[in-house]
């Protein structure tokens, strides 16, 4: 079956979080949210837990919003997703804005929970659909949350991957460096190099990211689309109507 780019990305992320038992999803995250739901559907027998902030479906709720931070603080969440207006080569993320602070000429919403959850959730997947030199920069203008920390900082979590519309990177925390893991079909290494503002490691013949199977697409278009449309009706309408 044919699939659209969002379905491809949902599947790509779902593959990365497949080993996790507990997945939390923050606000403004329809693609990661769909990926978490897909991953849950694909491993029904393991009773994977998914928490989605903003959902009113009892399946995805905790008692209240502050709990997600308490759970993360205790180490009870395995995977989470963050994005950035800017993301740099050492995985610092900027959700705040560009220009001299505080009167920034470009101002985004704000850090949300990133300045906490990035430190405490073992697998944080960075996700940004738009892969270009404005987003993937050598060094962010404002560190909303740092990609790594010195030894005197309590840190049990951090970035593991970066997924974009072009490719998937692994992040090596020891070396503080991204490695190109795979390139999406119809895109090239040259295109990735041209559009990335930071240095990263790669092999001259990178792997190609695998797309979803027909069986996975079927689940995505039925169970997952129904569940995500409760939280992101406009997104679901756009992708699956």
Partner 1 sequence: MIKETSYELAKEIPSGSKIAIFKDSSVPMTLGLNMIKSGITDLEIVTVPTGGLLVDLLIGSGCVTSVETSGVSLGEAGPAPCFTEAIKNGSITIKDSTCPAIYAGLQASEKGNPFMPLRGLLGSDILTHRNDIKEIDNPFLPKEKIVCLPTIKPDFAIFHAPLADRDGNIYVGIRQELRLLAHASANTLVTVEEVTNLNLLSDPKLAPGTIPAFYIGGVAVAKGGAKPLNLPHHYDSDFQQIARYAKLAKSEEGISEWITQNLIENNDAN
Give, as ranges, the residues between 167 and 226 that touch partner 1 (CB under 8 A). Answer: none
Ranges within 109-138 binding partner 1 (CB under 8 A): 109-120
Spatial separation of the C-alpha atoms in residues 139 and 88, rounded to whole Å = 5
From residue 32, alpha-carbon distances to 105, 143, 183 in Å are: 29, 22, 19
Token readout for 163 is: 């997924």
The residue within the footprint of partner 1, chosen from 5, 149, 188, 199 (CB under 8 A), is: 149
Q: Rounded to the nearest 10 degrees, what angle do helices 30-42 and 5-16 cross at?
A: 60
Q: Is 54 in the site for partner 1 (CB under 8 A)?
A: yes
Part in contact with partner 1 (CB under 8 A); list of ranges 1-9, 63-71, 76-84, 194-202: 63-71
Residue 115 or 219 having the CB closest to partner 1: 115
Considering beta carbons, is residue 120 or 183 the nearer one to partner 1? 120
Provide the CB-side half-sphere exposure for 80 (13 A, CA).
27
Cβ atoms within 10 Å, residue 108: 16
Stretch that binds partner 1, among 3-11, 61-69, 124-132, 216-224 (CB under 8 A): 61-69
**228-237 LR contacts (CB < 8 Å, sep 24+):** 228/30, 228/33, 228/34, 228/37, 230/55, 230/56, 230/57, 231/30, 231/33, 231/52, 231/54, 231/55, 231/57, 232/30, 232/33, 235/30, 236/30
> Minimal distance in Å, beta carbon 2 to partner 1?
26
**Are 102 and 138 in contact, with CB atoms under 8 Å apart?**
no
Residues 84-103 that bind partner 1 (CB under 8 A): 95-97, 101-103
Whose Cβ is closer to partner 1: residue 66's or residue 203's? 66
Residue 229: both structure tokens together: 């449309």
- Return the residue of 1, 28, 207, 215 that touches partner 1, per CB under 8 A: 28
Distances from the Cα of 224 to the Cα of 14, 45, 125, 238, angstroms? 12, 17, 20, 14
Closest to partner 1 by CB, 4 vs 149, is 149
Measured from the CB atom, the residue of 53 and 217 that comes closer to partner 1 is: 53
Q: Which of 2, 45, 47, 150 touches partner 1 by CB under 8 A?
A: 150
For the CB of residue 22, give the shortest distance to partner 1 in the complex, in Å.
Answer: 18
For partner 1, which is the closer residue by CB, 41 or 55? 55
Q: Which residues sit at the interface with partner 1, rule CB under 8 A?
A: 27-28, 54, 56, 61, 63-66, 69, 73, 95-97, 101-105, 107-120, 142-146, 149-150, 152-154, 232-235
């Amino acid at each position: 079956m044919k699939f659209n780019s969002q379905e491809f990305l949902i599947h790509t992320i779902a593959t990365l979080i497949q080993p996790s038992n507990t997945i939390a999803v923050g606000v403004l995250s329809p693609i990661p949210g769909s990926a978490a739901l897909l991953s849950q559907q694909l491993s029904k027998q393991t009773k994977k837990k998914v928490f989605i902030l903003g959902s009113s479906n009892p399946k995805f709720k905790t008692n209240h919003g502050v709990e997600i931070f308490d759970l993360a603080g205790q180490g009870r969440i395995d995977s989470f997703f963050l994005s950035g207006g800017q993301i740099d080569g050492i995985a610092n993320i900027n959700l705040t804005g560009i220009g001299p602070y505080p009167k920034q000429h470009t101002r985004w919403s704000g850090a949300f929970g990133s300045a906490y959850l990035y430190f405490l959730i073992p697998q944080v997947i960075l996700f940004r659909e738009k892969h270009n030199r404005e987003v993937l920069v050598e060094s962010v203008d404002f560190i909303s949350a740092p990609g790594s920390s010195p030894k005197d900082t309590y840190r049990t979590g951090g970035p593991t991957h970066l997924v974009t519309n072009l490719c998937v990177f692994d992040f090596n925390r020891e070396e503080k460096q991204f490695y190109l893991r795979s390139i999406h079909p119809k895109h090239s290494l040259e295109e990735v190099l041209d559009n990335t503002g930071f240095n990263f490691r790669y092999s001259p013949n990178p792997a190609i990211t695998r797309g979803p199977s027909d069986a996975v697409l079927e689940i995505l278009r039925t169970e997952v689309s129904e569940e995500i449309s409760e939280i992101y009706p406009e997104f679901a309408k756009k992708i699956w109507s």
